[in-house]
Amino acid sequence: MYFVQRWPGYTHARHRHHYAVRSVGISAPRPRLIPCFCSQSTMKKASILWFRKGLRLHDNPALLEAIKEVDHVYPIFILDPHFISPDRVGANRMQFLLESLADLNASLEARGSQLLVLRGNPIDTLPSLFVTWNVTKICFEHDTEPYAVVRDGKVRELATSAGVSVYTPVSHTLYDPALLLKRCSNGKPPLTMKAFEKLIDTMKDLWPTPAPDPPPSLPPVGQLKEACLAVPVPALGSLPGYPERASTPFRGGESVALARMAK
Antiparallel, parallel or unpaired: β 135-139 and 165-167: parallel
Contact (CB, 8 A) for 245 and 236: yes
With CA atoms as reference, report the closest residue to 72 among 160, 132, 25, 120: 132
Find the helix packing angle between 146-161 and 122-132, rounded to 10°: 30
Local structure of residue 38 (DSSP, 8 states): -
- The answer to whether 74 and 221 have CB atoms below 8 angstroms apart is yes
Domain range list for the chain: 32-171+212-247, 175-210
Q: Picking from 25-39, 72-86, 146-160, 168-182, which range would have the lowest pLDDT averaged per residue?
A: 25-39
For the chain, give the longest Cα–Cα distance: 57
In the predicted model, what is the mean pLDDT of residues 197-205?
Answer: 84
- Name the CATH architecture for the domain at 32-171+212-247: 3-Layer(aba) Sandwich (3.40)
Query: Cα(238)–Cα(94) distance, rounded to whole angstroms?
Result: 12
pTM, rounded to two decimals: 0.80
Per residue in 81-133, pLDDT tens?
Answer: 888 888 889 999 999 999 999 999 999 999 999 999 998 899 999 999 999 89
Q: What is the pLDDT of residues 211-240, one digit of tens each?
A: 888 899 999 998 645 545 677 899 999 988
- Determine how many CB atoms are found less than 10 A away from the CB of residue 88: 12
pLDDT at 225: 52
Q: Where are the alpha helices (DSSP H) in the chain?
A: 61-66, 91-110, 122-132, 146-161, 177-182, 193-201, 254-262
